[in-house]
Structure 1
């Protein structure tokens, strides 16, 4: 009788990879491909815990410095156009607020800000949205802040924060509006700015100034320079400065109103859409100028007499960066248009005849954006898309949930 075969030996399980090594591997996944980290977080509970831990997010910032551009928000009102458009190689979606109710006005420090579309009560409301976590918070605007085509800016309120992991933390909002004041003879318009604090849930006292110009703010998002200066570009091309420390407002012109300015387009007349706000190379205030097939970068330099002048800092020849087919059409004098700028990543969005591109101003890298629907203005969304645990997501805006947000005005 044949003997029974010897029992098979069970293979020993391979030794578990230490969490420290797993973390080092996951940190090397492409940071500009959010799907990679999302898939990694779903492999097992341990990996999900590593990817969603605040330390992992901080290490991403330390390793890659500048966060990647994930996509952009826009003001298009096409029925089939999502409010958020991904620009990554592997497209992904974010559940941005509905464009039929909200208009995107700003995005900074991991927070996007939306302004309500005018309702029957003729009052405004703001909505804060964190793209990475999906957390939202409504912010009522006092009825006294009643002006046409206002705008707003959002920024982290923590002094000294590096913004590597300030999701859910305190923030401030600056709301800017203009009112036609019929009681004033010489300057008919009053420009005002109010500051909202998430820590108190209240609005501070208004700062106001008179202006001979009526300023509308529908097209462009704000620019934060340092930790104390906010800039807004009006639709007519005027620049409004708000000093967060002094609580002062100042209005000044773009470079085309400066003595000695010459346009490469053969005209010295103002073009409302030619200049766009951006950070200068030294971190100060700058603007880009669309000039035919060139892109001029200007910076505002202060002098010993406290006067400031615009100075050309750099010129990009776009024919050396972009495909010729997107720049030249026989019989058409076409100008490339800048649609958006990212403060954190030094990347601009430019629109050509047929395509939309991003240009990394530091590296000179050009990337075509697949989704181009003729957008007029873009608000870039940047950040490291590391999944956040559901329980952490639920507590991110616990300090001031939607139902407790106040429209109270402090005077």
Structure 2
């Protein structure tokens, strides 16, 4: 005999929005704009408690970081009077600048930002012989004693900070690597690199490569992450090259280069480069044939005068943001700042002006929500009405 169990009316499955786990998965996919979670929190008390839960916020940030969808919240600049933050998103997503002011003991006049990536900032000379890794959104920070070969501030070096792929979910999100590189000139010219891991809380062994034909080269300030390798342009009096650091193999290589530009991820993957001359930007991709001979192939030409408004073309290209393949350009007529996305061809003028061009101009992309605050109890309401 077969019995059929009659479902009790009260045992029916919960509606999707009444299931906290399913609701969290839905809210996790909201756009990473600063106003998204504050708007959701206005729906009801239950939603507000969920989106303010620290575990949910960690997942929300990690979800969008892993997909590369974190928006550029603004730019850090050094205008000779210390480090400043300039928000650039349109209302209601424009973030207040106050939470992004670095608070340290001592002077910020000699401090500079080396790199911003993965929602982290790498700063040098905050304290003598040290670098600082800082998450401006959460306020997390860690000061690192520099390896001896990098402590001489008269010798310029570059670096990059990378958030660890393991920093997701409910684990500690402040896990990272720092990679420092510099060139040593002279008869024994060489490039050197060293890696710090927050897992071991120590610097690894010094990695170096001889560069006898590149004795006059210096390493560029801005680097790029392409696949699992880091790249920096090398420049000198008579020749150029690219310095490659393989994160997995922990080794260095030098790639000859016969033009100047910024390293980027090429469309479809692989190593790319963007060069700017006059009113024209050209995108190149490094291709390797069946005989393992590498060449640079032109893939796109961007006529900047068709994208930018009518401006004086006495302008300077400030930098290139490889996280979003965006050119950052400054015009000398009022020091207006423009961004040009090399894939979508979208151009935007940023709501900032300077009397002189900043000597450091670093875009900062991250997932910011007012509720986690960096401290202001009513920041959500201010954000939605700014």
Same fold, judged at TM 0.5 (above): yes
State the TM-score, normalized to the length of structure 2.
0.73
Q: Identify, as 1 or 2, the structure richer in strand.
A: 2
CA offset digits 1:85-142 (Å, max 9, x no partner): 21112352112367424211112222211111684xxxx3110011221211001112
SS of the equivalent of 2:156 reads coil
* Displacement after TM superposition at 1:297 (Å): 1.0
Q: Distance in 2 between matches of 1:207 and 1:66?
A: 33
Note closer, same or farther for the CA distance 1:144–1:95 as it changes in structure 2 (3 Å cut): same
Q: Does 1:70 align with 2:73?
A: yes
Matching residue of 1:303: 289
Note closer, same or farther for the CA distance 1:27–1:197 as it changes in structure 2 (3 Å cut): closer
Matching residue of 1:126: 131
Q: CA RMSD in A?
A: 3.6
Q: Distance in 2 between matches of 1:165 and 1:357?
A: 38
Note closer, same or farther for the CA distance 1:208–1:297 as it changes in structure 2 (3 Å cut): same
SS of the equivalent of 1:380 reads strand
CA offset digits 1:302-331 (Å, max 9, x no partner): 23333322111111111111012243xxxx
Selected match of 1:341 from 313, 316, 321: 321
Note closer, same or farther for the CA distance 1:26–1:353 as it changes in structure 2 (3 Å cut): farther
Matching residue of 1:245: 248
CA offset digits 1:40-79 (Å, max 9, x no partner): 76999752641452344456569x86221111223431x3
SS of the equivalent of 1:306 reads coil
Q: Does 1:294 align with 2:280?
A: yes
Q: Does 1:85 align with 2:106?
A: no
Note closer, same or farther for the CA distance 1:234–1:45 as it changes in structure 2 (3 Å cut): farther
* Displacement after TM superposition at 1:84 (Å): 2.2
Matching residue of 2:101: 95
Note closer, same or farther for the CA distance 1:35–1:307 as it changes in structure 2 (3 Å cut): same
State the TM-score, normalized to the length of structure 1.
0.69
Matching residue of 1:356: 337
Gaps of 5+ in 2: 1-16, 376-386
Q: Distance in 1 between matches of 2:41 and 2:195?
A: 38
Q: Distance in 2 between matches of 1:391 and 1:288?
A: 37
Q: Distance in 1 between matches of 2:35 and 2:102?
A: 18
Matching residue of 2:226: 225
* Displacement after TM superposition at 1:369 (Å): 0.7
SS of the equivalent of 1:319 reads helix
Q: Distance in 1 between matches of 2:218 and 2:122?
A: 18
Gaps of 5+ in 1: 1-16, 182-186, 257-273, 328-333, 393-411
